[in-house]
Chains A and B, each alone.
Chain A
């Protein structure tokens, strides 16, 4: 497909479990971003990758959250010991012009995570 894809679309887990969320960016986009959106709020930045490296992880809430992008394309967001407060929609976006004045980010449909 031409757009950003995310799997799974929905994930229900129990408190304390480990989850992985996957993002496939638009082909050729060097920058990849993860955001989290809670009910009634706008997306909140988590982490940004330029190529394989995390260029800015200042939005990760704590050390239970970790993300990788080993080959500079697909990324996985990993959450350990999930808590009920982690329930949200996790959005991934990609961009071809990071760091410029015209850095439109293109979003995937999101993964809705529910922690019971």
Chain B
């Protein structure tokens, strides 16, 4: 049973527009959520995180929104740039230790 789901395998966006990546989870014990970005042949790179006590966290062009009642979070990238093209993973933690990852969404930003 997948506890963290990223239902969109891929997303294509025009440069300068907003990219919205979505993630759903089932485990109500999750209290910390992270987004990672991954380029081919590299390890995942931490992007942004949010604690369950918040509903929004912003860092430059990246904003993460958390809707606990819907068990849903999203990552907004504004404006999108070609260098943002990568695989984005949503991850969740229940105890501040092991992370449970989604399957990833491939983002392509077209110039």
Footprint of B on A, CB under 8 Å? 4, 31, 33, 35, 40-45, 48, 55-56, 58-59, 91, 93, 97-110
Contact = CB atoms under 8 A, between A and B. Distances in A.
Contacts of A109: 41-43
Interface of B: 4, 6, 31-32, 34, 36, 41-46, 49, 51, 53, 89, 91, 93, 95-104
Contact of B102 (A42, A59, A102, A103): A42
B32 A105 contact: no
A99 B95 contact: yes
B97 A55 contact: yes
Given A42-B101, A42-B102, A107 B43 contact: yes
A44 B103 CA distance: 10
Contacts of A41: 103-104
A97 B46 CA distance: 14
Contacts of A91: 43-44
Given A4-B43, A99-B95, A110-B43, A104 B49 contact: yes
Q: Tell me which of B53, B91, B93, B96 has the highest count of chain A C-beta atoms within 10 A of its own C-beta.
A: B96
A98 B93 CA distance: 11
A44 B96 contact: no
Given A42-B89, A42-B104, A105 B42 contact: no
A45 B98 contact: yes
Q: Which 3 A-B pairs have the closest CB atoms?
A: A42-B101, A107-B43, A99-B96
Q: Tell me which of B46, B95, B98 has the highest count of chain A C-beta atoms within 10 A of its own C-beta.
A: B98
Given A43-B44, A104-B34, A109-B42, A98 B104 contact: no
A103 B43 contact: no
20 contacts: A40-B103, A41-B104, A42-B89, A43-B44, A45-B98, A48-B98, A91-B43, A99-B96, A99-B97, A101-B31, A101-B32, A101-B53, A103-B96, A104-B34, A105-B46, A105-B99, A107-B43, A107-B44, A107-B45, A109-B43
A56 B101 contact: no
Nearest to A92: B43
